[in-house]
Amino acid sequence: MSFADVAAQAGADPEAFWLEAAKGLDWAKFPTTPHDGGSDTWFPDGELNTCYNAVDRHVAAGRGDATALIYESPITGRAATYSFAELQDHVARTAGMIAARGVAKGDRVIIYMPMVPEAVFAMLACARLGAVHSVVFGGFAAPELAKRIDDCQPSLVLSASCGFEPGRTIAYKPLLDHALELAAHKPAGGAIIFQREELAADLMAGRDLDWASAYEAAQPVDCVNVASADPLYILYTSGTTGTPKGVVRDNGGHATVLHWSMSTIYGMETGETYWAASDIGWVVGHSYIVYGPLLKGCATLLFEGKPIGTPDAGIFWNLIGRHQVKVLFTAPTAIRAIRRADPDGAFIDQASLSSLTALFLAGERADPDTLLWIAGKLDRPVIDHWWQTELGWPAIATCFGLGETEIRVGSAGHAVPGYRFNVKNDVGDDVPAGTVGNLLIEQPLPPGAFRSLWNNPERFQAGFVDFPGHYTTGDAGMIDADGFIHIMGRTDDIINVAGHRLSTGQMEEVVANHPKVVECAVVGAADELKGEMPVGFAVTRPGTEDLDAVLQELKVSIRSDIGPIASPRTIYFVDGLPKTRSGKILRNLLRDILNGADIVVPQTIEDASVISVIEQVVKG
């Protein structure tokens, strides 16, 4: 069926549509009720096990020898490949290991680990038992880890002795020890520590177990069936301060839409290799490193490294050729980093990319200049798409697997079947096509989207009260006359300049189009006369010398492309921008620096050293 046909079908009868999609899974009890309007629950009377669907059923279908998990760690020099049968063995025994520590259905387990196969085994093992995992970035600061321990009250913590960044080793165990000291909740099962060769951790007698010894002593266990609505995981959103915001994902709806999305959005089929170059600490890693590909029976690539520097800007392309990757999914910031290190695309030219059919981008807005550069170098579709931790899977995309081929640069695509978008102004009125406003999704949300926040029903409901009948995405956007949806940035990135509401995202497009600029951000700074004024930060290509000329050219471009009212107060040239580990630029941090506010450095920042450098540039 074409995209138009599928979208029409999903819109006409969503309950029948998703019930049909649910047939792609193996259910212990197939649902007879697609959706409970009272509780907003999908497949309320269904029962299944997500781990069984991701692992065991492929073995049962005779595909035990097929590749399931590929581990590549250029940062350590290690690599490994696991078949579905081998993955089943590891997961079943890991489940036995954590069950021996008292973990049972409904219990929570915190996973505080680097990008190693054992972390994937741990996630699937929790799902196997019907336990609820909560993955927290390995290396996350102790106070923030303690907040998550107190919020979800785990029975057990799974961790590792260390993780790696280019040029440094991060000891995890001291951070975990400090977090457990700070936390009021003490996990009854203690902690199990995976010891890495490069750095061994000291274990606390009576609380900590060595992973290898506990694993060796464990007996494999079978899958435990759970209700479709039972929680699979809790994922705390990045940059959280104060009370953590724990997004809860269910089992049945989540498994249904991820299995469905692999073929319809990404064009993947069973047995092919998929690579989401993200981290399991993010929702992308949950959905498209671990669960989505395995539910579809694809091989998934787990990557411990960086797009540049481990060892060079060609690592993505080399691994695609080595493992015959069909689709790569990464963040725009990764492509910008590659472009800056390899502006001519020499590594791309040298690589064997015959298996690659498309590149998907998400995590932040893909500026047209970056998208067009990589599309030209790869000579393949480069597809920007949009979603959130709360949604769990793409809501706006070019559905490559349904034959959609038209890509409108600057747009994340059309609404994915099952989603219904509206754009309204601040008083709740619909705005004309092409007008920027609040981007909203009509209720009920499709399967896979969050139905609650852990221990925080009031905060969950807050996302639905401003515009009744809609989920407020928090993004500003517009839908053009052809139905293409454009994300203009967070609603707090819409600035008011002398009464004019302007999108900093539009300004960033103009700045990024300059041939000397490789990355940029525009934010609103307080201004006594106009209320706010746009201020830019730009990273230029190596060797760029006449910055004054670049500044004037950028100002002229903004005035001509957007209007004189958008002319920036100034544009600062910097060596790097503050980002989270997933590549999102911390624009609120830049805004605080400009406005002289107290700087709160989030624990998700990739490199905190850039902050002091930017402060010096702004003050200087």
Are 238 and 584 in contact, with CB atoms under 8 Å apart? Answer: yes
The residue with tokens 């009576």 is: 206
- Residue 192: which pLDDT band, with cuts at 50, 70 and 90? very high
**Residue 94: pLDDT above 50?**
yes
**Residue 365: pLDDT above 80?**
no
Indicate which CATH number applies to the domain containing 525.
3.30.300.30
Q: Are residues 470 and 528 in the same domain?
A: no
**pLDDT per residue as tens digits for the range 462-503:** 899 999 999 999 888 999 999 999 998 776 677 878 666 677
**Residue 130: pLDDT above 50?**
yes
**pLDDT per residue as tens digits for the range 17-52:** 999 999 999 999 999 999 999 889 999 999 999 999
Q: Are residues 161 and 223 in the same domain?
A: yes
Mean pLDDT of 524-550: 89
Q: Are residues 180 and 237 in the same domain?
A: yes
Q: 3-class DSSP state for residue 285?
A: helix
Single residue among 410, 441, 476 that ends a domain in this structure: 476
- Residue 549: which pLDDT band, with cuts at 50, 70 and 90? very high
Q: Are residues 466 and 504 in the same domain?
A: no
- pLDDT at res. 498: 67
Q: Are residues 542 and 432 in the same domain?
A: no
**pLDDT per residue as tens digits for the range 214-236:** 999 999 999 999 999 999 999 99
350, part of any domain: no
Cβ neighbours of residue 174 closer than 8 Å, sequence gap 6 or more: none
- pLDDT at res. 504: 85
Q: Return the percentage of the chain with pLDDT > 90, whole number.
A: 79
β strands within 144-296, DSSP E: 156-160, 162-165, 168-171, 191-194, 208-210, 226-227, 231-236, 246-250, 273-276
Q: How far apart are CA 231 and CA 452, in angstroms?
A: 10
Mean pLDDT estimate for the chain: 93
Cβ neighbours of residue 229 closer than 8 Å, sequence gap 6 or more: 39, 41, 42, 43, 44, 250, 251, 252, 451
CA torsion 190-192-198-200 (nearest 10°) is 50
318, part of any domain: no
314, part of any domain: no
Nearest residue to 99 via CA among 201, 230, 223, 233: 223
- Residue 240: which pLDDT band, with cuts at 50, 70 and 90? very low
Structure tokens belonging to residue 539 = 């990273």
The residue with tokens 């695509």 is: 413
Q: Are residues 37 and 114 in the same domain?
A: yes
Structure tokens belonging to residue 363 = 């995590």
Q: Are residues 66 and 148 in the same domain?
A: yes
**Residue 62: pLDDT above 70?**
yes
Instruction: From residue 569, give the alpha-carbon distance in Å to each of 113, 475, 488, 517, 536.
Output: 44, 24, 21, 18, 8
Domain range enclosing 545 = 498-619
Q: What domain count does the chain have?
A: 2
Are 92 and 222 in contact, with CB atoms under 8 Å apart? Answer: yes
- pLDDT at res. 241: 43
- What secondary structure letter does DSSP report for 309? S
- Residue 598: which pLDDT band, with cuts at 50, 70 and 90? confident
- pLDDT at res. 566: 83
Indicate which CATH number applies to the domain containing 296.
3.40.50.12780
Instruction: From residue 88, give the alpha-carbon distance in Å to each of 51, 121, 237, 295, 352.
Output: 9, 9, 30, 13, 32
Q: Are residues 287 and 247 in the same domain?
A: yes
Q: Are residues 464 and 512 in the same domain?
A: no
**Residue 565: pLDDT above 90?**
no
Q: Are residues 512 and 418 in the same domain?
A: no
- Residue 560: which pLDDT band, with cuts at 50, 70 and 90? confident
- pLDDT at res. 238: 52
489, part of any domain: no
358, part of any domain: no
Q: How far apart are CA 83 and CA 299, in angstroms?
A: 9
Mean pLDDT of 280-289: 95
491, part of any domain: no
Comparing 33 with 566, the larger pLDDT belongs to 33
- What secondary structure letter does DSSP report for 580? B
Q: Are residues 168 and 245 in the same domain?
A: yes
Q: How far apart are CA 51 and CA 57, in angstroms?
A: 9
**Residue 406: pLDDT above 60?**
yes
Q: Are residues 216 and 152 in the same domain?
A: yes
Q: Is 542 exposed, middle or buried (0-12, 13-18, 19+ CB in 10 A)?
A: exposed
- pLDDT at res. 162: 97
**pLDDT per residue as tens digits for the range 425-476:** 989 999 999 998 999 999 999 999 999 999 999 989 989 999 999 999 988 8
Mean pLDDT of 512-523: 92
Q: How far apart are CA 74 and CA 310, in angstroms?
A: 6
484, part of any domain: no
- pLDDT at res. 242: 55
348, part of any domain: no
